[in-house]
Amino acid sequence: MSWWQGILLGLVQGLTEFLPISSSGHLVVVEAVMGLQTPGVIVEVVLHVATLLAVVIVYRNTLGKLAAGALAGDRAAWRYILLLALATVPAGLIGVTLQDWFESTFDSLALVGVNFLVTGTVLWSTRGRVGHDERPTTAGAFGIGVAQALAILPGISRSGATVAAGMWLGVDAVRAAEFSFLLAIPAIGGAAILQIPDLSGDVMSIGAFPLAAGFLAALVSGVLAIRALIALLRSQAFHRFAPYCWTIGVITLLFATLGT
pLDDT at 204: 61
- β-sheet bridge partners, residue 171: 133
pLDDT at 197: 63
pLDDT at 74: 95
pLDDT at residue 1 is higher than 80: no
pLDDT at 23: 83
pLDDT at residue 98 is higher than 80: no
pLDDT at 32: 78
Q: Is 9 helix (H, G, I), strand (E, B) or coil?
A: helix
CA distance 60 to 141: 22
Find the angle CA(165)-CA(158)-CA(63) to the nearest 5 degrees: 85
CA distance 259 to 50: 32
pLDDT at residue 260 is higher than 80: no
Whether this prediction's pTM lies above 0.85 is answered by yes
pLDDT at 253: 93
Nearest Cα to 197, choosing from 37, 52, 40? Answer: 40
pLDDT at 199: 57
pLDDT at 17: 86
Percent of the chain with pLDDT over 90: 57
**Angstrom distances, CA of residue 181 to CA of 37, 82, 168, 250:** 29, 15, 17, 28
Average of per-residue pLDDT values in the chain:
88
pLDDT digits (tens, 9 = 90+) for 225-249: 999 999 999 999 999 999 999 999 9
Cβ atoms of 50 and 211 within 8 Å: the answer is: no
pLDDT digits (tens, 9 = 90+) for 25-55: 888 788 777 777 665 567 878 888 899 999 9
Q: Mean pLDDT, to the nearest integer, of 158-175?
A: 95
pLDDT digits (tens, 9 = 90+) for 177-193: 999 999 989 877 877 77
pLDDT at residue 202 is higher than 80: no
Percent of the chain with pLDDT over 70: 90
